[in-house]
Copies of this chain bind each other. A is one copy, B any other.
Amino acid sequence: MDYTTNYAAAKHLVAVDCIVFGFDNEDLKILLVRRPIEPQKGDWSLMGGFVQQGESLDDASKRVLYTLTGLTDVYLEQLYTFGDVHRDPVDRVISVAYYALIKINDYDREIVRRNGAQWFKVSNYPRLIFDHDQMVQTAISKLRRKCRTQPIGFELLPEKFTIPQLQSLYEAILMQPLDKRNFRKKILSMNLLDKLDEKDKENSKKGAYLYRFNREKYETLTSNGFSFEI
The residues of A with any CB-CB pair to B shorter than 8 Å are 1-5, 7, 9-15, 17, 33, 35-37, 45-58, 60, 63-64, 67, 78, 80-81, 83-85, 88, 92-96, 115, 130
Contacts and interface: CB of A to CB of B under 8 A. Distances in A.
Contact of A96 (B17, B81, B93): B81
Contact of A50 (B9, B35, B67): B9
Contacts of A130: 1
Contact of A4 (B4, B5, B36, B58): B36
A85 B54 contact: yes
A7 B83 contact: no
A94 to B, nearest CB: 6
Contacts of A63: 5
Contacts of A3: 36-37, 50
A94 B57 contact: yes
A2 B130 CA distance: 11
B50 A5 contact: yes
B92 A1 contact: no
Contacts of A17: 1-2
Given A1-B17, A1-B130, A5-B67, 16 more contacts: A1-B48, A1-B95, A2-B47, A4-B47, A4-B48, A4-B67, A7-B52, A9-B50, A10-B51, A10-B52, A11-B13, A12-B12, A14-B94, A56-B85, A60-B83, A81-B81
